[in-house]
Structure 1
Amino acid sequence: MIRLIGIDLPRNKRIEYALTYIHGIGLTSARKIVKNTNISPSTRTDNLTNEETIALRDELEKINLKLEGDLRRFNGLNIKRLNEISCHRGKRHRNSLPVRGQRTRTNARARKGTKKTVTGKKK
């Protein structure tokens, strides 16, 4: 099992898709990293050599992206700032409602949680 930036990459996956398990790396960034390290994109994580893992680790350190903890902290601080200035988006985050203008009369169950039935409600 390969460990990069504190993340265990899954076994027996192609390296481009395994790199997307790192928070902050999508498929495009993963393909760019694999291309820069001269590793075949069809290589599985089980079949990586020590030299290839060292090259991946060096490339991840050299790349100009926020990854894992830094990115999570950055996003958390942005949400905290929105809450503190009490803007519309901050209030929506605080109340666990959709932030980007989606409707809430129906839908939005993922954000609002399970339905709470009100008993004895008269119209």
Structure 2
Amino acid sequence: MNLMGYYLNNNNNIEKELTLIYGIGRKKSLYICKKLGIYNLKVKFIDNIKIKILKDILNKNKIGFDLKNKVKRDIKILLDINCYRGVRHKKRLPVRGQRTRTNAKTSKKKFFFNCL
């Protein structure tokens, strides 16, 4: 089944498959399924009416590609105004106050290879 541009496997539970959509975690997935009454069902057993209601609920929230674009825009704004967080993004270092002396080696490695 195709939902919001994501392909959902028919043989898995709907709660698990909804978490494949960017912006929906386990908690939000369980909340949506309980609200619709499709808790603990496989994707192939959901009728078309429930699928339509599910699509309406998902369209109301920013998820998927809309959310990815919003995050990219927000980071671009930080880069443009040249604030501290924007500078950390630019250097590919941890942004939220993590230490860089012993950890964050992967982010340092990415930055090092991008400069060469």
User: What range describes the TM-score normalised by the shorter chain of this pair?
Assistant: 0.7 to 0.9
Cα distance, 1:47–1:110 mapped onto 2, change above 3 Å: farther
Paired position in structure 2 for 1:24? 23
| Selected match of 2:54 from 53, 56, 65 | 56
Partner of 1:104: 100
Residues 37, 59 of structure 1: 8 Å contact kept? no
User: Shift of residue 59 of structure 1?
Assistant: 2.6
Task: Give the CA deviation at 1:43.
Answer: 0.8
| Equivalent in the alignment of 1:120 | none
Query: In structure 1, the residue corresponding to 2:19 is in which secondary structure?
Result: helix
Deviates more, 1:105-114 or 1:87-96: 105-114
Aligned pair count reads 111
1:17: Cα distance to partner?
A: 1.5
Residue 119 of structure 1 aligns with which residue?
Answer: none
Q: Which is richer in helix?
A: 2
Structure 1 segments of 4+ aligned residues over 6 angstroms from their partners? none
Aligned to 1:72: 68
Q: TM-score, normalised by structure 1?
A: 0.78
**1:90 and 2:82 equivalent?**
no
Q: Secondary structure at the match of 1:12?
A: coil
Matched to 1:50, the amino acid is N
- Give the CA RMSD over aligned residues: 1.9
Q: Which amino acid aligns with 1:57?
A: K
